[in-house]
Amino acid sequence: MAELVLFVLLVSLVMYAVFGGADFGAGMIEPFIREREDIDVALAPVWEANHVWLVLALVLAFVGFPELYSLSTTYLHIPLLGVLLGIVARGTAFTFRHYDPEPGKLAPWYTAAFRAGSILTPLCLGLCMAATAAGHFPTDPSAGFYAWYIAPWNTLFAWATGLFVCALFAFEGAALLSAEQALHGLPLPNVSLARGAHLFAIVTGALVFGIAYFERLPWFLQLMASGWALAALGVATLLIPAVASAFDRGQPWRLRLAMAAQVSCVLFGFFAAQFPVLLRVDTRVLTYQNAAAPAATLRTLIWALAIGLLLIVPSLAYLIRVYKATPHPSLDN
């Protein structure tokens, strides 16, 4: 049962990275887009619904793996706070710059908050991912505040991973916007921007692996020994020409599928390299087996999850269907 909960947890994180990541990426590339309304149309109204996947992942971690949740939220409370602040700032700014009765006065502040939040959340998510992979968490109470709450994520590997996540999300955002406009009969308008973000993601991804190699991180050693992780990253690499071909031929759906598949493979490979380890705390290794909740709790969680998904997935599908069926003048003109 723990395996099933862990699998759904991973799928939730991947879904959030694919759908929510594109939303954050759109905010990152907004300064380079002439028509800001196109971004608003591409995001609304499903952008807020994408946080369902993050909430689901947090609930699964809290109930299914309580020790993992407790330790990670303790050691990483600073970057996790950055994740939440970015989500709140971005969501608030996105709403207020549309519904403020006098938007002109505070419009620059709304825009600044929207863009800053779009960068802060992916960056902090990358810091958290890298910290859990590196496992530099102390247990000595006398180690001090810095060693406990800053040092685990304040590393070259962590900042490189944060930069990589930002680049990955920016690529998703540019690809989403290009595909959205192409579906309305326009040529792919942001090809150079999307290509640049894609190239930057590839370069920063290589930087992450290079740093992990030179620092001899346990995560990298496990990656080299994991057939599933190597296969996933190999597929992600093979999809690079597919993404380029979709841009060249102006095929929006092929672009979306290739982008989603590539991001999914990268994340699956990242997490598969750690399996079955969830967290390393000093000399202690926390796996999904010894960190799982009691069997009775997992059984109840799985039933609740099944019922919840039966409600959530059709609702999201209906929301997207209704919205996409509505004409949007800013894109149709």
Residues 40-75: tens digit of each pLDDT: 665 655 666 778 888 889 999 999 899 889 999 999
Which amino acid is present at 197? A
DSSP 105-154: HHHHHHHHHHHHHHHHHHHHHHHHHHHHHH--B---GGG-HHHHHTTTT-
Whole-number CA gyration radius for the chain: 20
User: Does 222 score more than 70 pLDDT?
Assistant: yes
User: Does 229 score more than 80 pLDDT?
Assistant: yes
Cβ neighbors of 17 (< 8 A, separation 6 or more) are: 168, 169, 263, 264, 267
Cβ neighbors of 80 (< 8 A, separation 6 or more) are: 72, 73, 124, 128
Give CA 160 to chain center in angstroms. 15
pLDDT digits (tens, 9 = 90+) for 147-203: 889 988 999 999 999 999 999 999 888 887 777 666 555 555 567 777 888 889 889
Q: What is the mean pLDDT of the chain?
A: 83
116, 166 in Cβ contact below 8 A? Answer: no
| pTM score | 0.86
Nearest to 165 by CA among 275, 48, 24: 24
**How many other CB atoms are there within 10 angstroms of residue 103's CB atom?**
12
User: Tokens for 179?
Assistant: 């595909």
118, 28 in Cβ contact below 8 A? Answer: yes
Q: Which residues pair with 277 in a beta bridge?
A: 287
219 or 99, higher pLDDT: 219
Average pLDDT of the residues in 85-110: 80
**How many other CB atoms are there within 10 angstroms of residue 31's CB atom?**
9
d(CA 275, CA 269): 10
